[in-house]
Structure 1
Amino acid sequence: MKAVVTTGQGGYEKLVYTDVPLPSLAAGDVLLQVLASSVNPTDINTRIGWYGDGGWQQTTPFPLIQGTDCCGRVVAVTNPEHQPLMGLRVLVRPCMRPRGFPSMDNVWLGSDFDGAFAQFVTAPASEVFPVNSAWSDAELGTMPCTFGTAENMLHRANLVAGEHVVVTGASGGVGSAVVQLAKRRGAFVTAICGRAKMAQVAALGADRVLARDGDDLAGLPAHMADLVVDNVAGPSFALMLKLIKSGGRYVTSGAIAGPQVSLDLRTLYLNNISLLGCTTWAEPVFANLITYIERGEIRPMLVKTFALQDMAQAQREFLNKTHVGKFALVPPQ
């Protein structure tokens, strides 16, 4: 089969489009024909070594077929009880819990083992979710990682109707998903993004959109938000913490502007703020996402589709950050 193999840390030369053997199936696995995947920051961060020598959670097993998102069709099963999955279009839950949900141990498709930047991929049958939707393969292929991550943050932070949530990086994949999912929960959303993308973020349903480089941020009142969802971090972290009401929450699953932040512990403890770091997904998250898709309660954010062999071009355009949404990748069918 054809696949893009990431051979190690480095530049685009580490992305090699080549022939590789079909993946072998372990007991309980299913074989999927990959219909679509998409570009995520983790793909690039792993390739360039942003996570450090330890890789993403654990040492990255180069050479690696990346690809955290997978919309696929089940073409083979190993256990007779999984026969009803044959031929179905499915999404793969990328965050898997090998020790079960009572443990926080997790492994990720395309980061800890071979993923969906290929014509075929294997996954445990327990991690594939049939999806009944009129969306295209490419649209579905943009959903698992970003929307699952966004839903997990809101689930962990227990966002409820009527609360005020501030979303940084609201034009990014996860940020734009948070805007949609927070509105679905009935929250009031203040979204922060680049000035050129404000209209697009407003169209997602944000109640108020602020430019990240404007004077509006400095003038925001302290203690206005029940929750801050912040995947930007960096220099703005201290300001975001001051926006949170007493007893409020701060949740993050990334650090686009830099992982090193300045924290005044007095702001944290005097205001009884809870800090939540989110990588491991809670059990209901992915099933909830499938339900939202099937009910039409959210919409895909597909910007552009690339052929799998054009991976390097897709990542270059992704890093230009002129888009709002996701780039899909489609392997040869």
Structure 2
Amino acid sequence: MNASQVMRAVRITGHGGPEVLELAEVAVPTPEAGEVLVRVGAVALNNTDLWTREGAYGRPGDPGAKSGWRGPVGFPRIQGADVAGRVVAVGTGVEQSLVGRRVVVDPAIYDSEGPDANPVGLMGSERDGGYAEYVTAPAERVHDVTESPLTDDQLASLPTAYGTALGMIERGRLRKGETGLVSGASGGVGLALVQLARARGATVLAISSGPKIDAVREAGAHAVIDRAGDIAEQIRAAAPDGIDVALDVVAGELVGEGLPLLREGGRWVIAGALGGYDVTFDVRRLYLHNAQVIGSAMHTPTHFGLLMDLARRAEVQPVIAAAFPLEQAAEAQEELSRREHVGKIVMHP
């Protein structure tokens, strides 16, 4: 690779609708010291792509403010957090043996060096991402999955959705034999939660609706609760002894309705607000039963390492809903925003 080479990339020039996505020819980035250059085989889409583009994250004290995931976004920004591909070059101080290896990039930018660091930034938001033919990443964030039987599309589906899901499961301490409730079960994180909780040996109840119910059952849910009906009543019928851990990406009214269904010492883990961020619940149901409400954003380096072990052994099988070429990024994001699909949408640069 040399600096004069150009690549195609899709970037956002400001906050707005799909029209702010532009296909551009830009210089291939040069890996700095401690970095690698990855040729992107597949990049998966996430809700965070839509929300970063829209500036939908709000700011502390100003929920309506246009903002990226953790503050202002520097424009133009190449989107895309979830990359699988091959290392084609390394910066100084990086093992040359990485060149040619098939890798998945951990997209998190962490607040510290340790194994339990918190994510405070994200590739595709706080640094350029994988809606491009090439992307750079710190060498310690690149995981060798050369031996994995999963496809590039499946591997690209893992970082944000499965990383977020595994972070929720780990922070909620879901154990084998416990009962887990998954909300929004047909979405990217929801389907990942169903698969990962099932792989862990939990009894999985999933909330979904309409034509997606069969796909959620196929992913491993023991029982599917129809969102169109009385949710609390259906949960009580399916789990008369209560829920140990709720794995919730919906929030909204579900929190208030669901907390009384937790067993003693139950955990309610929230990693999204698809149903609304303004939540009301009876606090007595929390403290009288030693329950916990736990916020969970993405994953730690330790969680991501666990996920990559699962990927090498193909213990989870991401479902691919659709694949688009890079120049159809706007169409791909539109498809994602309609929420009619089950599984992950990917692009091929």
Smaller-chain TM-score range? over 0.9
Deviates further, 294-303 or 209-218:
209-218
Deviant stretches of 4+, over 4 Å = none
- Counterparts of 1:59 and 1:216, CA distance in 2: 38
**Counterpart residue identity of residue 93, structure 1:** D
Q: Deviations over 1:212-249 (max 9, x none)?
A: 11135335338600000010011222112122112110
Q: CA deviation at 1:25?
A: 2.3
Aligned to 1:244: 262
Aligned to 1:146: 161
- Counterparts of 1:51 and 1:86, CA distance in 2: 37
- Counterparts of 1:163 and 1:278, CA distance in 2: 20
Q: Please, which of 311, 322, 332 is the counterpart of residue 340 of structure 2?
A: 322
Q: Note the 1:222-237 alignment, pairs <5 A.
A: 224-237=242-255
Q: Deviations over 1:67-100 (max 9, x none)?
A: 0100021011113542111011100011132521
Aligned to 1:258: 276
- Counterparts of 2:27 and 2:230, CA distance in 1: 55
Aligned to 1:114: 128
Cα pair 2:225 2:234 within 8 Å, conserved: no
Aligned to 2:95: 82
Q: Please, which of 34, 43, 46 is the counterpart of residue 49 of structure 2?
A: 43
Cα pair 1:96 1:127 within 8 Å, conserved: no
- Counterparts of 1:267 and 1:150, CA distance in 2: 25
Aligned to 2:205: 190
Flag the 1:223–1:9 CA change in 2: closer, same or farther, 3 A: farther
Q: Deviations over 1:253-272 (max 9, x none)?
A: 11111111112211211121
Aligned to 2:4: none
**Counterpart residue identity of residue 29, structure 1:** E
Q: Please, which of 190, 196, 202 is the counterpart of residue 217 of structure 2?
A: 202
- Counterparts of 1:23 and 1:254, CA distance in 2: 33
**Counterpart residue identity of residue 54, structure 2:** I
Cα pair 2:50 2:337 within 8 Å, conserved: no
| Structure 1 position 163 matched with structure 2 position 169 | no
Q: Please, which of 30, 34, 37 is the counterpart of residue 36 of structure 2?
A: 30
- Counterparts of 1:242 and 1:150, CA distance in 2: 23
Between the aligned residues of both structures, percent identity stands at 41
**Counterpart residue identity of residue 131, structure 2:** F
Cα pair 1:210 1:217 within 8 Å, conserved: no
Q: Deviations over 1:95-151 (max 9, x none)?
A: 132521355353211111100001111000000001022322222211211011101
> Normalization by structure 1: what TM-score?
0.95
Deviates further, 93-102 or 26-35:
93-102
**Counterpart residue identity of residue 119, structure 1:** E
Aligned to 1:63: 76
Q: CA deviation at 1:194?
A: 1.2
Q: Note the 1:283-294 alignment, pairs <5 A.
A: 283-294=301-312
Structure 2: which 5+ runs fail to align? 1-6, 59-65
Secondary structure, counterpart of 2:16 in structure 1: coil
> Normalization by structure 2: what TM-score?
0.91
Secondary structure, counterpart of 1:218 in structure 2: helix
Q: Note the 1:288-307 alignment, pairs <5 A.
A: 288-307=306-325
Q: CA deviation at 1:15?
A: 0.3
- Count residues with an aligned counterpart: 331
Secondary structure, counterpart of 1:20 in structure 2: strand
RMSD: 1.5
Q: Deviations over 1:157-196 (max 9, x none)?
A: 1111010000000111001000010011110000001121
Aligned to 1:178: 193
Q: Deviations over 1:274-294 (max 9, x none)?
A: 111111522321111111122
